[in-house]
Amino acid sequence: MEPATAIEAITGELKDEPGIRALFLSGSYGAGLEDAYSDIDFLMVAADGPTDEVARLWHKAVSRTGEIVLWWDRLVRPVLINAITRDWSRTDVVILKPDQMGRQAKDGLKVLFDHDRIFDTLPASSKTTGPDPRRMKYQFEEFIRILGLLPLAMGREEYLNGVLGVFHLRNLLVDLLIEETGAPHRGGALHLNRLITDEQKEVLASLPPPVPTRDMLIAAHMAYAAAYLPRARKLAKLWEIDWPERFEAVTWERLKEALEIEPPFAST
């Protein structure tokens, strides 16, 4: 079913349900950034929140768009229901109570119906507060921690598991690059192209693939360290986040002692 038709069908099914006070498009559709590959994200305001009855009504509404072949009912988050229909249309809904709408903004939503004029009470746009210092410090430390596990993987000759380490480092680098651009309306995991710059894309494209051999894994870890750590340190200074100096220092000491590895960048 075409997205516009699916949206209309779901809206029509729910509009006259007294416990459902509003329904909005969110995500890419809410921000006007959708494309032919976007899932359809909804934000529902229900008087009693994400109850079993509201979930039943949502299932009935989504069923009007096609046979449901995947149904995750409040599994990932207690307010979220994910669905996929037979034609692989993806539909997600977040279900909130009216008093939980404080973090929403008009520029991320499109009104489908709004019985209580909730939309009028929302700010025009989301406040840009910058990165979360606690989350970013955790990610800096996590990158260093994974780097410090390299001697363990090499010592055990766990080269297949070492590949997973490279993937973790890549994910942390991607997150850092997105934070660096400060892009609003980030969307899902498959929207990277519009979130990072051409220069950042070149950085990612230049990094070696994870190959399960000793030399290639060491080379990949060092390439990611060179791409991530100087950039992260610079951003930490900009964002006034304490850098884990001691942790990084002892990690490089461990890498030198175990694998004769030096930092692949000039110290600052």
CATH fold of 133-259:
Four Helix Bundle (Hemerythrin (Met), subunit A) (1.20.120)
Tell me the residue length of the chain.
268
**Band (125; pLDDT cuts 50, 70, 90):** confident
User: Is the distance from CB of 127 to CB of 106 less than 8 angstroms?
Assistant: no
Mean pLDDT lowest among 137-141, 188-192, 216-220: 188-192
At 94 the pLDDT is: 97
Hey, where are the domains in the chain? Answer: 3-121, 133-259
pLDDT tens digits, 34-62 = 888 889 999 999 999 999 999 999 999 99
- 245: confidence class by pLDDT, cuts 50, 70, 90: very high
How does residue 194 score in pLDDT terms, banded at 50, 70 and 90? confident
pTM for this entry: 0.76
Please name the amino acid found at residue 209: P
Neighbours of 164 (CB within 10 A): 14
CA distances from 176 to 93, 94, 181, 234, 235 (A): 28, 27, 9, 11, 9
Give the model's pLDDT for residue 127.
67
**Separation between Cα atoms, residue 104 and residue 184, nearest integer Å:** 13
Q: Give the class (CATH, top level) of 3-121.
A: alpha beta
